[in-house]
Structure 1
Amino acid sequence: MNVLVVVVDALRTDRVGAYDGRRVTPTIDELAAEGTVFERAYSTTNATDPALTSLQTGRLPRTHGVRNHGSHVTDEEKRAIEGVPALPMVLEERGYDTAAFGRPLGRWHRRGFDRYPELSSAHWRLKSLEKSASSLLYGIHPAIGDTLSRTYNALTDRTGSDDEDGVVAEFTDFLDESNQFYSLVHLMDTHTPYDVDDALVERYLEEHDDENRPLSAVAEEFPTGSITANSLTPGGVVNQDNERWEDHEMGVGTALARAQYDAAATEADRTIEGLLEALETRELLEETLVVVLADHGESLGEHGIYFEHHGLYEPTTRIPLVVRPPESDGVERSAELVSITDIAPTILDALELADERALDADGQSLRPLLEGEGDDWESRESLLLEEANTQRFRAVRTDRWKYLRAVEDDPTCRYCERSHGESEQLYDLESDPEETENLVAERPETLAALRDELDDLLSRHEPRSGPSNDADDDAVEYDDEEEVLDRLESLGYR
């Protein structure tokens, strides 16, 4: 059996038709009809570095050691993860051809991959400088900042080395060279800044015409100079390479940004179609376990978070997860609480390598659910979530409730420069799925029980990663770290 895992960065469940009936992702929907849709799947966090590490290790951030993202990842976190085995390392040792395509996160994420995408450091360093300069000039006069952004995008390739059209071609070449394989494809379409087909945007715009606000007005809600305010200026969230959107009746507003997000989901879906066609053409599709998921979700205005992934709320932590085994006669849908940490154990189980216990995972194999053997699945009462990149919270998600608790005294988001909620929050997801009513004061007994449940989860998942957490140890250095951080800065990470 081969394995293909496709991660669509920041893809929300409500953009996948298999979850809410929309027709934005027809390929994923067709795949879902042939496999299993996990209705309540969750990431472990809200940022890519720790989430992808959870995917590849089967562990929570607390136990694999990486809680932060990008430049915020500490030397202690790097030392910790270097001592944790990862799925591609295990499969490479067993003779599988291993390859990653799309967005390169580099650093420890490279471990175990025979083939890994490279970055053009000069391109992303220049793009990062342009974005900072455009935001600064926009604050002086919008026309000046807008002109610089337009000029730069007209003269350079915006998408760089992880262009999605190239992903299918590179994956196809890999198939022609490989035998038994494990492949990870990381697509960036639904991550800002959106770079999408204008015709698709027009198709989806009318669906958002009742909730349109100028992005400039939204930016004024945040402190001047904050990362969030800057992201809502030209060259930030939406693709403003031409004047048509300024002159459009909808203008450059939240409707446009949401329509571009929808279009981006469709473009990612088309890339997945190309990957599946490459498998089918080579008669490999029926020999390949296909997993499509997101590393985390995205907020499109909920809780005052615009086109970013802050907080541990449902739009950010709940993810689409579709699994299609080569021959599936199992359940079409599962309502069990499942986690991104379950993917690595599932793959090892499907490849009949689970008995070797190569990963000391927190997750468990989904194979019983995929095969309709629910009695062999140990149902979860709760999931542990945590974040560190924008603010420091932990949360517990049960069948009905979501409880969030700040780790630090000040819950201010370092990107928005304001808090997204109280230090303790309690939501009844049955009656309030959008998490709008904090019930901390109204439900003291439930609050006390969930406090205890969170503490219990933390005690059951003590940090157990890495060779050493000694602060005096030498720093871990990666040859590609400068390029990776340049790339992340160009995407708005600070």
Structure 2
Amino acid sequence: MNILVVVVDALRVDRVGSYGGRSVTPTIDELAADGTIFENAYSTTNATDPALTSLQTGQYPRTHGVLNHGSHVSEMEKKRVEDTSTLPSVLNKRGFATGAFGRPLGRWHRRGFDRYPELTSAHWRLKSLEKAVSDILYSVHPSIGDVISGVYNSLTDRTGSDDENEIVEAFDSFLEDADRFYSLVHLMDTHTPYDVDENLVERYLERFEYENTPLTEIAERFPTGSITYNSLQPGGVVNQNNDQWRGHEVGIGTALARAQYDAAATEADRKIDSLLSVLRDRGMLEETLVLIVADHGESLGEHDIYFEHHGLYEATVRVPLIVRPPFDAVDRVSELVNITDIAPTVLDVLDDSKGSPTEFDADGRSLLPLLEGSDSDDTWDSREAILLEEANTQRFRGIRTQNWKYLRAVGDPACRYCERPHGAAEQLYDLTTDPNETENLVEDRSEQAAKLRAQLEELLSRYTHSENDPNASDNRSVEYDDEEEVLDRLESLGYR
């Protein structure tokens, strides 16, 4: 049996048709019709480095050690994660060909893969140069910065490492010598800046024209010079630099940004279709376990968060999870599940998990009993809660039960990108009556808040496998060649 895991970075649940969302993901929906939809799947956090590490290790960030993202990952975090077993490493030792394609995170994410995408491609170099030059010139005169950004965008459109042909061809080549394989494909389409088919955007735009606010007007709500303020300027989020768009009066506003997000979801869906076609053409699809998941969601204005993934709110931490196993499975599962469950599930489906607990010590659990349904000999004990934690833009911890969400700040609740808080330091939401988390009940329902506060403390204690705070730093260092410098530079330029 083979395994294909596709991570669609920042894909929201409500853009997947099989979840009752917009009809912009036909391939995912078709796969879901032939597999299992996990209706209440959650990430561990809202940033890629710790979330993808949770997927590959089966552990919460507090266990594997990485809570931050990019250049904010401390030396101690790097050291701790190096001592953690990963799914590709385990499978590689057992004779699987292992290949990663798409977004190249490098560093510890590379461990265990026979084949890994290059980080220093022409795409990244051009993107870095475009952002640096346009930002400098925009501070001198906006129109000059817009022109430079437009020129470089036209170049990077043709050289991107997220190009469909490049990913699909590399995946197809990887399969030539693979008797059995584990492959991770990381797609960046639904992550800003959106760089999408304009015809798709035009098709989706009419859905949003009734609700349109200029991005520059929204930017004025945030401190001048903040990351959020800059991202909402022309040439930022929507990757467009003029006040008109293909003859539409909509301008550069929330309507265009959201239409571009929908178009990006469709483009990611098309890439998934191409990957599945490769497997189908090689006669391998029916013997491959396919999982479609997001590392986190995306906020499109909820809680005054625009086209970013701050906060532990539902838009950001609830993720689509579609599992299409090479056997008959149930249609839908409503249990609380987590991306930490993916690695144990893969090993259980392969029947490789038994007898090796020291080799792969996961916090998550196999979803195989849920996939098999009532006919399974195994049992699934329903989770009471899922632990949530963020540290990249703001520091919050939280707990999500079937009906409640409780969040608590660690220190100052202000967001590093927006330079102001998105909510109170302590928050409580009744998700049965308030699924959009608009009414903080922490004072009105103090007993419920106290109960969840205690439950959160218990989970934090359970999943901390060190006496040291994972965000602290020490003097030990881990070398990753020049990749760390590249990542630092990219984040400083706005590519997070």
TM-score by length of 2: 0.95
Match in the other structure for 1:476: 478
Match in the other structure for 1:406: 409
Match in the other structure for 1:449: 451
- Helix, strand or coil at the partner of 1:319: coil
Q: Deviations over 1:216-236 (max 9, x none)?
A: 111111110000111111221
Moved more, 149-158 or 282-291: 149-158
- 1:332 has 2:334 as partner: no
Whole-Å Cα distance in 2 between the matches of residues 308 and 15 of structure 1?
16
Whole-Å Cα distance in 2 between the matches of residues 391 and 465 of structure 1?
22
- Helix, strand or coil at the partner of 1:405: strand
1:171 deviates by 0.6
Match in the other structure for 2:382: 379
1:122 deviates by 6.4
- 1:108 has 2:108 as partner: yes
Match in the other structure for 1:219: 219
Match in the other structure for 2:345: 346
Match in the other structure for 2:370: 369
| 1:81/1:465 contact within 8 Å kept | no
| 1:138/1:233 contact within 8 Å kept | no
Letter in 2 for 1:370: L
Moved more, 130-139 or 452-461: 130-139
Q: Deviations over 1:239-297 (max 9, x none)?
A: 22788617521111110000000000000000000000110111101100000000000
1:492 deviates by 3.2
1:465 deviates by 10
Q: Show structure 2 runs of 5+ residues with no match.
A: none
| 2:344/2:365 contact within 8 Å kept | yes
Letter in 1 for 2:172: T
| 1:391/1:411 contact within 8 Å kept | yes
1:21 deviates by 4.4
Letter in 1 for 2:333: S
1:145 deviates by 2.0
- Helix, strand or coil at the partner of 1:452: helix
Whole-Å Cα distance in 2 between the matches of residues 158 and 70 of structure 1?
26
Whole-Å Cα distance in 2 between the matches of residues 179 and 241 of structure 1?
48
Do the aligned partners of residues 465 and 272 (structure 1) sit closer, same or farther apart at CA in structure 2, a change above 3 Å counting?
farther
Match in the other structure for 1:23: 23
Do the aligned partners of residues 155 and 350 (structure 1) sit closer, same or farther apart at CA in structure 2, a change above 3 Å counting?
closer
Do the aligned partners of residues 301 and 342 (structure 1) sit closer, same or farther apart at CA in structure 2, a change above 3 Å counting?
same
Letter in 1 for 2:448: T
Match in the other structure for 2:93: 93
Do the aligned partners of residues 472 and 67 (structure 1) sit closer, same or farther apart at CA in structure 2, a change above 3 Å counting?
closer
Q: Among the aligned pairs, what percent are the same residue?
A: 67
Match in the other structure for 1:433: 435
Q: Deviations over 1:53-98 (max 9, x none)?
A: 0000000000000000000001010001000010000000000000
Whole-Å Cα distance in 2 between the matches of residues 453 and 465 of structure 1?
20
Do the aligned partners of residues 472 and 274 (structure 1) sit closer, same or farther apart at CA in structure 2, a change above 3 Å counting?
closer
Letter in 1 for 2:322: V
Letter in 2 for 1:406: A
Match in the other structure for 2:360: 359
Whole-Å Cα distance in 1 between the matches of residues 164 and 66 of structure 2?
28
Match in the other structure for 2:134: 134
Do the aligned partners of residues 465 and 281 (structure 1) sit closer, same or farther apart at CA in structure 2, a change above 3 Å counting?
farther
| 1:103/1:117 contact within 8 Å kept | yes
Match in the other structure for 2:464: 462
1:159 deviates by 5.1
1:211 deviates by 1.3
Q: Deviations over 1:181-215 (max 9, x none)?
A: 00000000000000100000001001111211111
1:123 deviates by 5.0
| 1:125/1:486 contact within 8 Å kept | no
Match in the other structure for 2:320: 320
Whole-Å Cα distance in 2 between the matches of residues 193 and 27 of structure 1?
23
1:481 deviates by 2.1
Match in the other structure for 1:75: 75
Q: How many residues align?
A: 490
| 2:234/2:242 contact within 8 Å kept | no
Whole-Å Cα distance in 2 between the matches of residues 327 and 2 of structure 1?
13
Instruction: Compute the RMSD of aligned alpha carbons.
Output: 2.0
1:152 deviates by 2.2
Letter in 2 for 1:428: D
- Helix, strand or coil at the partner of 1:396: strand
Q: Show structure 1 runs of 5+ residues with no match.
A: none
- Helix, strand or coil at the partner of 1:147: helix
Do the aligned partners of residues 338 and 115 (structure 1) sit closer, same or farther apart at CA in structure 2, a change above 3 Å counting?
same
1:462 deviates by 1.8
| 1:76/1:471 contact within 8 Å kept | yes
Do the aligned partners of residues 176 and 226 (structure 1) sit closer, same or farther apart at CA in structure 2, a change above 3 Å counting?
same
Whole-Å Cα distance in 2 between the matches of residues 21 and 429 of structure 1?
18
Letter in 1 for 2:332: R
Letter in 2 for 1:85: S
Whole-Å Cα distance in 2 between the matches of residues 49 and 424 of structure 1?
26
Match in the other structure for 2:209: 209
Letter in 1 for 2:364: G
- Helix, strand or coil at the partner of 1:416: coil
Match in the other structure for 2:392: 389
Do the aligned partners of residues 242 and 171 (structure 1) sit closer, same or farther apart at CA in structure 2, a change above 3 Å counting?
farther
Moved more, 453-462 or 108-117: 453-462
TM-score by length of 1: 0.95
Whole-Å Cα distance in 2 between the matches of residues 392 and 159 of structure 1?
36
Whole-Å Cα distance in 2 between the matches of residues 459 and 472 of structure 1?
22
Do the aligned partners of residues 48 and 70 (structure 1) sit closer, same or farther apart at CA in structure 2, a change above 3 Å counting?
same
Whole-Å Cα distance in 2 between the matches of residues 450 and 158 of structure 1?
50
